[in-house]
């Protein structure tokens, strides 16, 4: 076998050193890549664990509360919202959830003017082209699903579908007040039923105590007048008072 020259031996040694260094670089890159992968896995596991409801040192982590539950509200205080002749309308919602109170006109001459109470912070909507008393109705705003209580003592006289452009959007309730001596009736609208359904005709209701429904979400149904006084869509419960024998009397 011929002897290798010094140049050829040096070239072979240089090539071997290059190959060794390349192998070391590949091994180092593989090690770093594996470590980085482990770090990513640990981060993902940590995020998942922090979002779970696993017990902590202070006890189990509570499950998120549905928005509907947050909007329920407590019983309202014994507070008069407005007077309609001899009839007192009580606040129908938890005041902590009320977004606005606004009185407005309605083109219905059979409605009785409501007299706002000074203790209540309220607005009066522009009349526009509507006839009838400027305070013929009152809208009490709150988030959709807020529990609505009877605004008066009395008896449920009628329960009917509430329609917008021919479509059923919840229901409305007519109450025969026990204090009106048969002269006035009260309509409450923009309601959704509770899980047990709407109140039944003939059932007795007590102001501020009897639950009659929840506020229906009209944000995707129609532009609501109350929205001009609130920072939301203006969802509300509406209350009107009319004389017995009017168009919405049962």
Tell whether 47 and 99 lie within a shared domain: no
Distance, in Å, from the CA atom of 211 to the CA atom of 92, rounded to the nearest integer, reads 9
Range of the domain at 21: 1-64
User: Among the three residues 16, 45, 64, which one is the final residue of a domain in this structure?
Assistant: 64
Other C-beta atoms closer than 10 Å to the C-beta of 154 total 23
Residue 249 lies in a domain: no
Residue 218 lies in a domain: yes
Distance, in Å, from the CA atom of 158 to the CA atom of 163, rounded to the nearest integer, reads 15
**Structural contact between residues 185 and 173, judged by C-beta atoms closer than 8 angstroms:** no
Positive or negative, the Cα torsion across 109, 91, 82, 145? negative
Residue 239 lies in a domain: yes
Write the CATH number for 107.
2.70.70.10
Tell whether 3 and 48 lie within a shared domain: yes
Please identify which residue in the block is written with the tokens 């979002």: 51
DSSP annotation of 198: S
Tell whether 9 and 56 lie within a shared domain: yes
pTM listed for this prediction? 0.71
| Beta pairing partners, 215 | 191
Tell whether 26 and 83 lie within a shared domain: no
Tell whether 231 and 195 lie within a shared domain: yes
Q: Over its length of 250 residues, how does the chain's per-residue pLDDT go in tens digits?
A: 444 444 444 444 444 544 455 455 455 545 545 555 545 444 444 444 444 444 344 444 443 334 444 468 899 999 999 999 989 999 999 999 999 999 999 998 889 999 999 788 999 999 999 988 899 999 999 999 999 999 999 999 999 999 998 999 999 999 999 977 678 999 999 999 999 999 999 999 999 999 999 999 999 899 999 999 999 999 999 999 999 876 665 5
Tell whether 82 and 169 lie within a shared domain: yes
User: Among the three residues 17, 45, 64, which one is the final residue of a domain in this structure?
Assistant: 64
Tell whether 137 and 161 lie within a shared domain: yes
Tell whether 7 and 94 lie within a shared domain: no
Tell whether 143 and 176 lie within a shared domain: yes
Tell whether 50 and 80 lie within a shared domain: no
In this predicted structure, what is the pLDDT of residue 35?
52
Tell whether 98 and 214 lie within a shared domain: yes
Residue 250 lies in a domain: no
Identify the CA nearest to 190 among candidates 227, 166, 221. Answer: 221
Please tell me the total count of domains within the chain.
2
Other C-beta atoms closer than 10 Å to the C-beta of 149 total 24
Tell whether 14 and 133 lie within a shared domain: no
């Amino acid at each position: 076998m011929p002897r290798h020259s010094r140049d050829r031996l040096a070239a072979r040694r240089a090539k071997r050193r290059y190959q060794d260094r390349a192998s070391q670089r590949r091994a180092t890159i593989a090690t770093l890549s594996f470590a980085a992968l482990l770090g990513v896995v640990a981060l993902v596991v940590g995020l998942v664990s922090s979002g779970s409801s696993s017990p902590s040192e202070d006890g189990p982590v509570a499950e998120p509360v549905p928005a509907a539950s947050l909007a329920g509200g407590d019983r309202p205080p014994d507070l008069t919202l407005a007077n309609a002749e001899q009839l007192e309308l009580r606040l129908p919602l938890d005041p902590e959830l009320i977004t606005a109170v606004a009185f407005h006109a309605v083109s219905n001459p059979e409605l009785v003017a409501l007299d706002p109470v000074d203790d209540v912070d309220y607005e009066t909507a522009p009349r526009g082209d509507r006839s009838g008393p400027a305070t013929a109705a009152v809208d009490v705003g709150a988030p959709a699903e807020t529990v609505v209580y009877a605004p008066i003592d009395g008896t449920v006289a009628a329960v009917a579908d509430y329609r917008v452009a021919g479509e059923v959007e919840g229901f409305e309730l007519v109450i025969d007040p026990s204090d009106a001596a048969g002269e006035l009736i009260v309509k409450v609208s923009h309601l959704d039923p509770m899980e047990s359904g709407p109140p039944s005709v003939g059932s007795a209701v007590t102001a501020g105590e009897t639950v009659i429904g929840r506020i229906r979400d009209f944000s995707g149904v129609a532009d609501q007048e109350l929205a001009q006084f609130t920072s939301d869509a203006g969802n509300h419960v509406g209350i009107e008072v009319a004389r017995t024998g009017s168009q919405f009397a049962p």
